[in-house]
Amino acid sequence: MKREAFFAEITKNILLPYEARQAYEEERVGEFANRFEAGYFDCFLALLGGGGDVLDLACGDGRHTLRLSERVNHVVALDLSPNNLKMAQRKCQSRENISFLEGSMFEIDRFFQESAFDGIWFSQAFEYVPPDRRKELLASLKRILKPNGILYMSVETWMHPNLWASLKELVNDLQAFCYWKFLKRKPLLWGEFFYYLRVEDVCASFSGWHYHVHTDKWTLLKLLKRLKFEVLRLDVYDGYIYVLCRKVSL
């Protein structure tokens, strides 16, 4: 019961900065966060073969939705934040091949039939997936992918290409985890923590403590293998694991 109540609490917490957002994400970080994200975007589209139906999962304010719609047959843009979706709709109003859907990534099985999509683009939102919900979510993503469908994810991590940077981030994670679990008595699992989000960090009239979760490359690879995803490409850069994988058809 504690974890269920905590999940409801963090769902509300996650929404706060996005509902207060006043400027587009591109104005803060650009269309792509770095060269890796841009490269994975091109690789994702190449694997789709210049068409298909794509789910832009946790689409945010549409940072990638518009570009996806220019290269595939149809995009379903799903996000939990009504404000994000309003911003995305304004940005994409010239396109007719985008459908917008308000809802949680954890309700995917309710929204979509089996084998509904050729590809799923899941950028910078895995940090909101609690450790005990990862398997459930990835199983749902596999179910709605067509045979040989492509999944892209960027997964926030304490890992960096540099060992010293990785150790420093790991210590920071451990300190944050211990503070919120043992002093604040939150029912956390390893990797979960809260950090202070400033107004200037999100281009929004919001500041306060914000939920995140980190994982590592080995944990992620083990889970993908268990769920029968074939990893096609993986890189660790600047606190993110970038991964492209294919649904294995048995």
In the chain, what are the domain boundaries? 2-247
For residues 111 and 13, give the distance between their C-alpha atoms in angstroms, rounded to a whole number.
23
Q: Which amino acid, 85?
A: L
pLDDT digits (tens, 9 = 90+) for 136-165: 999 999 999 999 999 999 999 999 999 999
Tell me: pLDDT of 205 over 80: no
Q: How many residues does the chain have?
A: 250
Residue 29 vs residue 228, higher pLDDT? 228
Closest CA to 198 of 184, 209, 211, 212: 209
Residue 1 banded pLDDT, cuts 50, 70, 90: low
Domain 2-247 matching CATH 3.40.50.150: the answer reads yes
- Chain centroid to Cα 125, Å, comes to 2
Mean pLDDT within 197-215: 83
For residues 241 and 45, give the distance between their C-alpha atoms in angstroms, rounded to a whole number.
19
Residue 204 banded pLDDT, cuts 50, 70, 90: low
Specify whether the CB–CB gap between 87 and 21 falls below 8 A: yes
Mean pLDDT within 179-208: 88
211 C-beta neighbours (distance < 10 Å), count: 23
CB contact set of 77 (below 8 Å; sequence gap of 6+): 56, 59, 62, 65, 85, 88, 92, 98, 99, 100, 101
Tell me: pLDDT of 201 over 80: no
- Coil, strand, or helix at residue 50? coil
Angle, helices 134-144/217-226, rounded to nearest 10 degrees: 50
pLDDT digits (tens, 9 = 90+) for 50-98: 789 999 999 999 999 999 999 999 999 999 999 999 999 999 999 999 9
Tell me the pLDDT of the chain averaged across its residues.
94
Supply the pLDDT for residue 83.
96
Q: Which amino acid, 195?
A: Y
Q: What is the DSSP string of 132-150?
A: GGHHHHHHHHHHHEEEEEE
Q: Looking at the DSSP assignment, which residues form a beta bridge with residue 16?
A: none
**Does pTM surpass 0.85?**
yes
Residue 93 vs residue 23, higher pLDDT? 93
